[in-house]
Every structure is written in C-alpha cells, then in structure tokens.
Amino acid sequence: MKLQKFFKYAFPIGVAGIAINLLLFITNWYYELVVPLIEDTFIEGALFHFLDNLIYYTPVIFMLLFVAYIIAGHIYMKKVHITKEVQETEKLVEKNEKIQKELDEKAEFLKHKYYTNCPNCGSVREENANVCSFCGASLIIKEKKKQ
C-alpha cells in the first residue's frame, strides 16, 4: 500500500522537517538568500510585498505542513494497526470455530457405541467409521435415549 509507505516514518521525517524549517525561520538565512533575487527584478508594490511575506513565512508554512503530516501519519497508522488487529481477531475466531466443530464431531462420535462388524453385511468396521464402508449401513448400536 502506497499510503502506508508514505506515512510509515511520518514522525521522524516530520520532526526533522520542523527542525530544519524552524532553524531557517530563526536565522532568516533562507529569507536573506532569496529576497535579493526578487529585489533586483521589476516586481514592485503590492506584489513585491506579498512575495516578501511569502518568502519570509515559507518556513512557517512548511512547519505547519510537517505538523499536519505527523498528525495524518499518526491517525493513518493507527487505523492500519486497528485493521490488522481486527483481521487477526477474525482469523482467530475462524480458527476457533473450526476447532470447536471438530470437537463437537468428536463428542458426537464418542456418544455412541459401535458394532465391530456391520449388522447388515458383516464386514469389519473401519476405524472411526459411523457407517459401513462396504454397504453404507449404520454401525451405531441404537440405545433407548434418555430424554
């Protein structure tokens, strides 16, 4: 999943991004570096003012983006984690149901007594068989059930 890769290291990357941009903002190194480039152009007035502010606050914008990235990553990875847990739980439930079914069958099997030879055709009962493997007759010795 692509999103999972994108958010996997959201926290360390986000923190690093914030740290770098905080440093840029504090030192204004970035601002001092970029503003002279537009000061020499023909841009004037409001547009220059806008660009001036934009460049000055760019590190802040990036810091906010990295904060959003960390938060989104946290929420997303939590969701992925929960989904995985649900899937694992469902698998366990399915497995338990299968085991329960097998145990029920075994218990049902042990409830009865069986003929060692088929009462119908006389062939020897195969191990764990309910019915004759030869003619299909029931091998269960019928008792009066207590009800």
Q: Which is nearer to Zn ion, 70 or 118 (CB)?
A: 118
CB 105 within 8 A of CB 50: no
Rounded Cα–Cα distance for residues 79 and 62 (Å): 25
Q: According to the binding rule CB under 5 A, does residue 134 interact with Zn ion? A: yes
Binding residues for Zn ion, total number by CB under 5 A: 7
Q: How far is the CB of 145 from Zn ion (least distance, A)?
A: 24
The nearest distance, CB 134 to Zn ion, in angstroms, is 5
Query: Applying CB under 5 A, does 56 fall inside the site for Zn ion?
Result: no
Task: Give the position of tokens 């903002």.
Answer: 25
Using rule CB under 5 A, residue 121 touches Zn ion: yes
Q: Is 135 a binder of Zn ion (CB under 5 A)?
A: yes
Q: What angle do CA 13, 16, 20 make, to 5 degrees?
A: 140
Query: Is the C-alpha dihedral spanning 51, 55, 56, 58 positive or negative?
Result: positive
Q: Which amino acid is at 4?
A: Q
120 binds Zn ion (CB under 5 A): yes
Piece in contact with Zn ion (CB under 5 A), picked from 16-24, 32-40, 72-80, 117-125? 117-125
Which string of DSSP letters, residue by residue, matches 6-17? HHHTHHHHHHHH
By the 8 A CB rule, do 51 and 43 touch? yes
Please pick, from the candidates 35, 72, 137, 140, the single residue that binds Zn ion as defined by CB under 5 A: 137
Contact call for residues 49 and 73 (beta carbons, < 8 A): no
Please state the closest distance from residue 92 (CB atom) to Zn ion, in A: 42
Among 24, 63, 132, 139, indicate the residue that binds Zn ion (CB under 5 A): 132
Q: Point out which residues bind Zn ion (CB under 5 A).
A: 118, 120-121, 132, 134-135, 137
